[in-house]
């Protein structure tokens, strides 16, 4: 059912869709979460949101551990009690050619459900907080480059176009520049 999942690439408009809350917690949801973790690890990412693999549900997977052995699955995540701010150098599996600095909350309280539907509240900080905020943006149809001022975004688009000239495919997926 989820064998052929691929990471959507900017500027694919499907990345802009709003995700629906998960209401059914079943084996199919676990299969999707496991497949997303597999794709994230294969792509050397630290987070992946369901919309990035063309699934419009509120599901993210994250693993910021050095050994890549602490997978986290967050369903219907909501940021509560954000505090502080930090500059974060970010990249994205859906926009692989660029990195840029984004201002994020330093600490968040995350309310989420696990694979069985149980609600949890967890205090997150450091890289975990930043990564979860980045992935939640995907659930809301937002990309990290949306935080970039227009002038800098134009430079980033030129960088993407130049990268495209030098390399026509990235891991088997073509990238279009608009």
More confident residue, 132 or 145: 132
Q: What is the mean pLDDT of residues 37-66?
A: 97
Q: What tens digit of pLDDT does each residue of 52-101 get?
A: 999 999 999 999 999 999 999 999 999 999 999 999 999 999 998 788 89
Q: What is the mean pLDDT of residues 24-50?
A: 97
- Domain-located, residue 136: yes
pLDDT band at 31; cut points 50, 70, 90: very high
Peptide bond into 11 cis (omega under 30): yes
Could you tell me what percent of the chain has a pLDDT over 70?
Answer: 84
**8-state DSSP, 23:** -
Could you tell me where the DSSP H helices lie in 19-169?
Answer: 27-42, 126-139, 150-166
pLDDT band at 174; cut points 50, 70, 90: very low
Does the structure show a pLDDT above 60 at 135? yes
Task: Give the pLDDT of residue 11.
Answer: 87
Q: Could you identify the residue written with the tokens 């176009």?
A: 161
Consecutive H or E run containing 121: strand 119-125
- Domain-located, residue 163: yes
Task: Give the pLDDT of residue 99.
Answer: 87
Query: What is the rounded CA–CA span in Å between residue 178 and residue 109?
Result: 37
The dihedral sign for the CA sequence 99, 103, 107, 113: negative
Task: Give the pLDDT of residue 25.
Answer: 98
Task: Give the pLDDT of residue 160.
Answer: 64
Task: Give the pLDDT of residue 4.
Answer: 84
Query: What is the rounded CA–CA span in Å between residue 74 and residue 134?
Result: 13
Calculate the average pLDDT of the chain.
89
More confident residue, 173 or 75: 75
- Domain-located, residue 4: no
Cite the active site residues. 135
Residue 133's CATH number? 3.90.45.10
Query: What separation in angstroms does the CA of 94 have from each of 5, 30, 32, 116, 152?
Result: 13, 23, 18, 29, 18
Beta bridge pairs of residue 104: 86
Does the structure show a pLDDT above 50 at 3? yes
Task: Give the pLDDT of residue 172.
Answer: 38
Number of domains into which the chain is organized: 1
Q: What is the mean pLDDT of residues 90-119?
A: 94
Residue 141's domain comprises 13-173
Assess contact for 48 and 71: CB atoms under 8 A.
no
Query: Which residues of 6-118 form beta strands (DSSP E)?
Result: 47-49, 59-62, 72-83, 86-92, 95-104, 107-113
- Domain-located, residue 27: yes
- Domain-located, residue 98: yes
């Amino acid at each position: 059912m989820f064998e052929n999942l691929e990471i959507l690439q900017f500027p694919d408009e499907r990345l802009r869709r709003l995700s629906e809350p998960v209401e059914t917690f079943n084996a199919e949801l676990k299969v999707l979460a496991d497949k997303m973790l597999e794709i994230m690890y294969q792509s050397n990412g630290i987070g992946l949101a369901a919309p990035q693999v063309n699934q419009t549900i509120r599901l993210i997977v994250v693993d910021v551990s050095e050994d890549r052995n602490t997978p986290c699955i967050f369903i219907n995540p909501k940021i509560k009690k954000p505090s502080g701010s930090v500059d974060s150098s970010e990249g994205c599996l859906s926009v692989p050619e660029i990195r840029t600095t984004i201002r994020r909350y330093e600490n968040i309280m995350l309310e989420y459900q696990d694979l069985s539907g149980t609600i949890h509240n967890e205090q997150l900080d450091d890289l975990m907080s930043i990564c979860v905020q980045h992935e939640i943006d995907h659930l809301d149809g937002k990309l990290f480059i949306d935080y970039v001022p227009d002038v800098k975004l134009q430079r980033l688009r030129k960088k993407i176009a130049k990268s495209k000239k030098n390399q026509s495919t990235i891991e088997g997926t073509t990238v279009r520049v608009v």
